[in-house]
A and B are shown apart, each in its own frame.
Chain A
Amino acid sequence: MMEILDILANPNFWSASIRIATPLIFGVLGALLCERAGVLNLGIEGIFVAGAMAGWMAVWLGLGLWGGIAVAALTGAGFGLIHAILTVPLGLSQHVSGLGVTLLATSLSYFTYRTALPDVSTPPRIVPFRALDIPLLSDIPFLGPALFQQTALSWLALAAVALVWWVLARTPLGLAIRAVGDNPDAVDAQGLSVYGLRIGAVMAGSALMAIGGSFLTMAAFDAFFFGMVNGRGWICIALVIFASWRPWKALAGALLFGAFDAFQVRLQTEYGNAVPGQIFLMAPYILSIIALVVAARRADYPRALLTPWFKGQR
């Protein structure tokens, strides 16, 4: 028990939770935006990889860190456009198209990386985002190192939560996105473009996902590895349901998962001799499943999720 309290009393645990949660926040926000418009985007896992690769590559080629973020976002939006064209005007199965985009984006990223760097054995490094020191706040004992020593991307993630919430809840555009995910006929009858709204939401959501991916190569690590996304995209798909499609709940879900993950790493070092390490690795996922089972019973899916809509067919 004392060990557990020790973990919780260490500010490193809290800052690690936020660090682990940051890519998930972007991912879950992106998935939320797509699904609110009625499109499930299973391309998320591949878009994470593409964002991680493209962002890193841009920095490595000398575009600078923020240039890398922009390149990652554009790459994500591009894969989002593929998924959107297949599922919105063409009305193909969102599951099949999404998994296809994941395979395509993952393989294309590895292919590009290998083609650009054919002879490298150790992945080249870039200078990643550094933790920002915020005057005064960072110097508060415990709270400072626990909460206020994060990279700019973590703050950007927080801003993105506020932005997505504001757009969805308070702007006419957000109203239209919520409506198109519930009943596209309502949007069409009011003279708005169902296709335009859905394609736009999927592209914007995919851009957020790709920024989440770029956090991995540009802040968490400083290089691109194969397999580094490692299921984070799928976790986001589950977290959206846990968050019942609400941005602030999505933030809470991502932070919770980040905390589980940071906790299991530390437990592993404490009890790793007595219990197989895999048990700890499993723990966050098992806890996510349990949390989902509890939350999903009341899940209020966007009514038109997965349902294609065709102009002129009523």
Chain B
Amino acid sequence: MTDRQSPVVLRLAGLTKRFGSVLANDAVELDLRRGEILALLGENGAGKTTLMNMLFGHYLPDAGHVEIIGPDGRLAPLPAGHPEAALRAGIGMVHQHFTLAYNLSALDNIVLGAEPLLAWRRDRQAARAKIDAIMARSGLTVALDAPVSQLSVGERQRVEILKALYREARILVLDEPTAVLTPQEADSLFETVGRMAADGLSVIFISHKLREVLAFSHRIEVLRHGRNVGGMATADADETRIARLMVGAETATDPRPPMAPGAPVLELRGVSVAGPDARRSLTGATLEVRAHEIVGIAGVSGNGQSALAALLSGLAEPESGEMRLADAPVARFTPAAFVAAGVGRIPEDRHHEGVVPDMSVAENLVIEALGDPEVSRLGFLRRGAIRARTAEACAEFDVRGPGPYAPVRLLSGGNMQKLILARVFGRAPRLILANQPTRGLDLGAAHAVARRLLEARARGAGVVLISEDLDEILSLADRIVVMHDGGMREAASRDRAAIGLMMAGQAAA
């Protein structure tokens, strides 16, 4: 617990940022004390990352300023818009998308920019000694000489944190630090961060995982629509209260009514799919999905999920093994054949694989149904019928945007996903592949996706739910299968720790 008397080391005063007509941050206030771990919570689009980018000088605020404690112990304004000024003032930032040069070693990435540019040689010995000392003190160890491209995601994140510590950061900002980590890696990260906070480091971490926020932070600050909506000591917080602050209304997770599974809609028997490497291929996968059933595929991304998704979309052909859809062996592995066989796909990357961004909402909605006589006749699109269908689907699925003829790229992520749901569910598919269906969505849109998946299950569809969010899988899936290194194993229990171990490739406990 932080001492209330610890000095304030960072103050954000009235920070405001506008992107076109969107007010991303509206007079946000924030205080951070020495040795404090502050969790910054909010839905996607609440303005958390924008706020941190202003703090670090990537964005210029439209109003307001940042004050940071100086060597004299007094708060002084930080010049806006200069990352190097923020670095000099002791702010270290670990971005959600790592900012590492993959062709350089970990050591070179850490040292980059920390020494005067114009020198005839670099003092790698001194740098190595300093990094070794930091690693010993913080417990963050990485192989310093290997190129970053060869490091695991967890190691890359440690390099990012070491970069900040090497610059003697006294304030560390972590933007969604656990998004790519296994539960064990995440726990060990927070253990380290907690230890460093006890030594006087102040930490702001952005997250939308309530569990880790409650477990590891000292204080919580919630943003909604770019404004402060509330802060509290973590000791006084509970999930319902935070969720209410984040979305502005109480949301209950939908109950998953028990349901007897029906006939198999998808069977994989020893299916192998070749990929560029072991982590992107499928080896001897066996899976059965029945009607009225949601099967959750858990695992850290890059363990064969993309190969599985490609297989179930008709984009990849198995090298060996058998695949059956609705009890009939699959012969033709083409996306069109799969759509015709009743497979509905919610792709992982909705911007690139889900929609054609420059085409209209209406066109994107009917793009998989061009053979349907309601959509086209004699090779001509029936505009009236398409317009009616679009209006109906947008109303039913709550797709909000500038209108049916506006290009899809103008929709927000949540509305884009709802449009894809409308397209998929409009064809009443028997098997649904939902690949990271709620990634990047705010709570409201994520609930809508979950509700639709449960509806499809009640209607008699089988659902394959690939997700990195274990909480989502635990709340939605009837059965859980864990992927590691291209292999699939069914989890015997719904215990988080056991599943986490399987995700890391260890035998199930």
Binding site for B on A (CB under 8 A): 170-173, 175-176, 178-179, 181-183, 185-192, 300, 302-303, 312, 314
Minimal Cβ-Cβ distance residue in A for B124: A170
B441 proximal to A (CB < 8 A): no
Q: Check B103–A182 contact: CB distance below 8 A.
A: yes
Expressed in whole angstroms, the minimum distance between the Cβ of B62 and any Cβ of chain A is 13
Q: Check B84–A191 contact: CB distance below 8 A.
A: yes
Minimal Cβ-Cβ distance residue in A for B119: A172
Q: Check A191–B122 contact: CB distance below 8 A.
A: no
A173 to B111, CA, bound (A): 12
What 9 A-B pairs come out closest when comparing CB atoms?
Answer: A191-B84, A190-B113, A179-B101, A189-B99, A182-B101, A185-B99, A186-B99, A182-B103, A191-B87
Q: Check A182–B102 contact: CB distance below 8 A.
A: yes
With a CB–CB cut-off of 8 A, which chain B residues contact A178? Answer: 101, 103-104
With a CB–CB cut-off of 8 A, which chain B residues contact A314? Answer: 53, 58, 95
With a CB–CB cut-off of 8 A, which chain A residues contact B114? Answer: 190
Minimal Cβ-Cβ distance residue in A for B114: A190
Q: Check A172–B103 contact: CB distance below 8 A.
A: no
With a CB–CB cut-off of 8 A, which chain B residues contact A176? Answer: 112-113, 117
Expressed in whole angstroms, the minimum distance between the Cβ of B160 and any Cβ of chain A is 9
A314 to B104, CA, bound (A): 22
Contact with B113, one of A181, A192, A300, A302 (Cβ below 8 angstroms): A192
Q: A189-B83, A303-B103 are in contact. Are A175 and B112 (CB under 8 A)?
A: yes
B93 proximal to A (CB < 8 A): yes
Expressed in whole angstroms, the minimum distance between the Cβ of B82 and any Cβ of chain A is 8
Q: Check B102–A172 contact: CB distance below 8 A.
A: no
B residues 82-132 in Cβ contact with A at 8 Å: 82-88, 93, 95, 97, 99-104, 108-109, 111-122
Expressed in whole angstroms, the minimum distance between the Cβ of B221 and any Cβ of chain A is 22
Q: Check B117–A173 contact: CB distance below 8 A.
A: yes
Additional 9 contacts, C-beta under 8 A, given A188-B58, A190-B114: A173-B118, A175-B122, A182-B103, A186-B101, A188-B99, A190-B113, A191-B82, A300-B103, A312-B59
Q: Check A190–B87 contact: CB distance below 8 A.
A: yes
Question: Could you mark each residue 25-66 of chain B with 1 if its beta carbon is under 8 Å from any beta carbon of chain A, else 0?
Answer: 000000000000000000000000000010010111000000
A-B pairs with beta carbons under 8 Å apart, 25 shown? A170-B121, A170-B122, A171-B120, A172-B117, A172-B118, A173-B118, A178-B104, A179-B101, A179-B103, A179-B104, A179-B108, A179-B109, A183-B101, A186-B101, A187-B101, A188-B99, A189-B56, A189-B83, A189-B99, A190-B83, A191-B85, A191-B113, A303-B102, A312-B58, A312-B59
A170 to B122, CA, bound (A): 6
B163 proximal to A (CB < 8 A): yes
Minimal Cβ-Cβ distance residue in A for B100: A186
Q: What's the count of A-B pairs with C-beta under 8 Å?
A: 91
With a CB–CB cut-off of 8 A, which chain B residues contact A192? Answer: 84, 112-113, 117
Binding site for A on B (CB under 8 A): 53, 56, 58-60, 82-88, 93, 95, 97, 99-104, 108-109, 111-122, 163
Q: Check B111–A175 contact: CB distance below 8 A.
A: yes
A191 to B86, CA, bound (A): 8
Expressed in whole angstroms, the minimum distance between the Cβ of B171 and any Cβ of chain A is 15
A112 to B120, CA, bound (A): 39
Expressed in whole angstroms, the minimum distance between the Cβ of A295 and any Cβ of chain B is 18
Expressed in whole angstroms, the minimum distance between the Cβ of B58 and any Cβ of chain A is 6
Expressed in whole angstroms, the minimum distance between the Cβ of A304 and any Cβ of chain B is 9
A253 to B97, CA, bound (A): 37
Q: Check A302–B87 contact: CB distance below 8 A.
A: no
With a CB–CB cut-off of 8 A, which chain A residues contact B116? Answer: 172
With a CB–CB cut-off of 8 A, which chain B residues contact A179? Answer: 101, 103-104, 108-109, 112
Contact with A183, one of B83, B85, B99 (Cβ below 8 angstroms): B99
Q: Check B83–A191 contact: CB distance below 8 A.
A: yes
Q: Check A171–B83 contact: CB distance below 8 A.
A: no
With a CB–CB cut-off of 8 A, which chain B residues contact A171? Answer: 119-122
A303 to B60, CA, bound (A): 28
Minimal Cβ-Cβ distance residue in A for B86: A191
A171 to B118, CA, bound (A): 8
Expressed in whole angstroms, the minimum distance between the Cβ of A71 and any Cβ of chain B is 25
Expressed in whole angstroms, the minimum distance between the Cβ of B115 and any Cβ of chain A is 5
Expressed in whole angstroms, the minimum distance between the Cβ of A255 and any Cβ of chain B is 26
Minimal Cβ-Cβ distance residue in B for A188: B83
A188 to B56, CA, bound (A): 11
With a CB–CB cut-off of 8 A, which chain A residues contact B87? Answer: 190-191
A187 to B115, CA, bound (A): 13
With a CB–CB cut-off of 8 A, which chain A residues contact B100? Answer: 183, 186
Minimal Cβ-Cβ distance residue in B for A311: B58
Q: Check B122–A172 contact: CB distance below 8 A.
A: yes
A188 to B82, CA, bound (A): 10
Minimal Cβ-Cβ distance residue in A for B108: A175
With a CB–CB cut-off of 8 A, which chain A residues contact B101? Answer: 178-179, 182-183, 186-187
Minimal Cβ-Cβ distance residue in A for B82: A191
Q: A191-B83, A314-B58 are in contact. Are A186 and B120 (CB under 8 A)?
A: no
A173 to B97, CA, bound (A): 25
A312 to B116, CA, bound (A): 24
Expressed in whole angstroms, the minimum distance between the Cβ of B235 and any Cβ of chain A is 34
Minimal Cβ-Cβ distance residue in A for B84: A191
Contact with B95, one of A187, A189, A303 (Cβ below 8 angstroms): A189
A312 to B17, CA, bound (A): 12
Most buried by B among A171, A179, A188: A179
A175 to B110, CA, bound (A): 11
Most buried by A among B100, B101, B112, B114: B101
